[in-house]
């Protein structure tokens, strides 16, 4: 089982690189952000709750997001592994993921930390906001997402170092070049 956590600040390329990993390694992909945006689109109750947090650049409550993740994980049958994109984002979520995988006799194989300078993150997300219009890709909300990343999410770097699963990836450069570094790290597992 290949269980990959793809980690990084907003705009670091988690979604972009996940698509390539899925293609090469044939594992399932779960992006909690994509799940929530789909719920917003469908106009569900969960979608309404999600929208109120996402529009403010804030994280949804851990319990809610952990339940979503658990049910998605259960829906993957005969899976070769999973790439977790945008989850975990807090220490509580990382502990829940560890427990969920342990219940299934599994563990995180590697945590890939896409490291990208802040000015580049801002440039990428502003550009995407202008082109495709994700509601949270405006300067004010991006700034809030970055604050949340630094206060609640980046402590996971030390947490995963402690687990012996941490792998730094230079997230600046061409998408192909970054993927080559990722594939090299995965192939060493």
Is residue 128 part of the annotated active site? The answer reads: yes
Should residue 110 be labelled a site residue for ligand AP5 when binding is judged by CB under 6 A?
Answer: no
**Torsions phi, psi for 182 (to 5 deg):** -65, -45
Q: Residue with structure tokens 């941490």?
A: 166
Give me the least distance between CB of 12 and Mg ion, in Å please.
9
Alpha carbon distance 83, 5 (integer Å): 6
Stretch that binds ligand AP5, among 28-36, 39-47, 70-78, 100-108 (CB under 6 A): 28-36
- Find, among 170, 162, 172, the residue nearest to 121 by Cα: 172
Should residue 12 be labelled a site residue for ligand AP5 when binding is judged by CB under 6 A?
Answer: yes
Is residue 134 part of the annotated active site? The answer reads: yes
CA distances, 134 to each of 63, 131, 162, 189 (Å):
25, 9, 35, 35
- Find, among 161, 163, 183, 179, the residue nearest to 171 by Cα: 179
Catalytic residue among 51, 134, 144, 161: 134
59 binds, among ligand AP5, Mg ion, none (CB under 5 to 8 A by kind): ligand AP5
Secondary structure tally for the chain: helices H, strands E: 9, 5
Should residue 81 be labelled a site residue for Mg ion when binding is judged by CB under 5 A?
Answer: no
Stretch that binds ligand AP5, among 21-29, 56-64, 96-104, 158-166 (CB under 6 A): 56-64
Alpha carbon distance 28, 3 (integer Å): 9
- Which residues of this chain interact with ligand AP5, rule CB under 6 A? 8, 10-16, 32-33, 36, 53-54, 57-60, 65, 86-87, 89, 93, 124, 128, 145, 175, 178
- Which residues of this chain interact with Mg ion, rule CB under 5 A? 14-15
């Amino acid at each position: 089982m290949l269980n990959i956590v793809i980690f990084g600040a907003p705009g670091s390329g988690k979604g972009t690189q996940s698509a390539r990993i899925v293609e090469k390694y044939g594992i399932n992909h779960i992006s909690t952000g994509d799940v929530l945006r789909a719920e917003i689109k469908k106009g569900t109750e969960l979608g309404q709750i999600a929208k109120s947090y996402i529009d403010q650049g804030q994280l949804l409550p851990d319990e809610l997001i952990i339940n979503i993740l658990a049910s998605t994980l259960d829906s993957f049958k005969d899976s070769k592994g999973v790439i977790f994109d945008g989850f975990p984002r807090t220490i509580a979520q990382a502990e829940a993921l560890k427990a969920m995988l342990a219940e299934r006799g599994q563990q995180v194989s590697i945590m890939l930390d896409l490291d990208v300078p802040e000015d580049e993150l801002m440039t990428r997300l502003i550009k995407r906001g202008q082109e495709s219009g994700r509601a949270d890709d405006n300067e004010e909300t991006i700034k809030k997402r970055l604050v949340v990343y630094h206060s609640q999410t980046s402590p996971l770097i030390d947490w995963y170092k402690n687990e012996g699963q941490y792998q730094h990836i230079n997230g600046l450069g061409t998408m192909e070049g970054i993927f080559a570094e990722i594939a090299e790290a995965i192939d060493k597992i």
